[in-house]
Homo-oligomer: A and B are copies of this chain.
Amino acid sequence: MESLTPRQKEIFEWICQYKQTQGLPPTRMALCTAMGFHSPNAAESHLRALARKGVIELLPGASRGIRILTQPDHPEGLPLIGRVAAGDPILAQQHIESYYPIGAELFHPRAHYLLRVQGDSMSHAGILSDDLLAVHQTTNVSNGQIVVARIHEEVTVKRYFRHLNQVELRPENPAFPIMTIDLTQTPLHIEGRMVGLIRSSWHS
């Protein structure tokens, strides 16, 4: 965690303690009265600072929309990545949809995040739509492995094969086409490698 000022640390710890004892995050007003502020904006700007430094996340528009990102709250949890916007790194704060109570070390190598699978292109490998893919964040992948790749803004899960500058991303479903990428022409980002799978809902 990026270094907090003494005041910010004090406020952060109060927020953690509030949530621990009250069972829910505080409002801006509660923070004001606790810290002796006379303006709600004092709380607001402190929260913004804490969010900017990555120790909390603010959910816009939601009352008590304060999510604590470091230890005491999400021990052993993995973040679930939602929609991925252009350009941003996949594990950016704004992509985190929620946290799942799963030990990262359950997977080998360890998982860094979960990604919701969209579509049936890997259904013959037992990966169905809406499954959560456990991903180990690395660019170091070998032929035949199932990887999370990104071309421009599109994130996709496929089996990876590379020959020199040609990369093939093969689906595991004959209904979908093999994608062939020339690395000298199209930028390809390897976001990570599949290390596991969780299915917690499906249509009968």
**Residues in A lying within 8 Å of B, measured CB to CB:** 20-25, 27, 62-68, 73-74, 76, 80, 98-103, 106-108, 123, 126-128, 131, 134, 144-145, 195-201, 204
Contact = CB atoms under 8 A, between A and B. Distances in A.
Nearest to A145: B204
A181 to B, nearest CB: 22
Number of copies of chain A assembled together: 2
Contacts of A196: 198-201
Contacts of A98: 21-22
Contacts of A134: 200
A123 B123 CA distance: 10
B100 A103 contact: yes
A20 B101 contact: yes
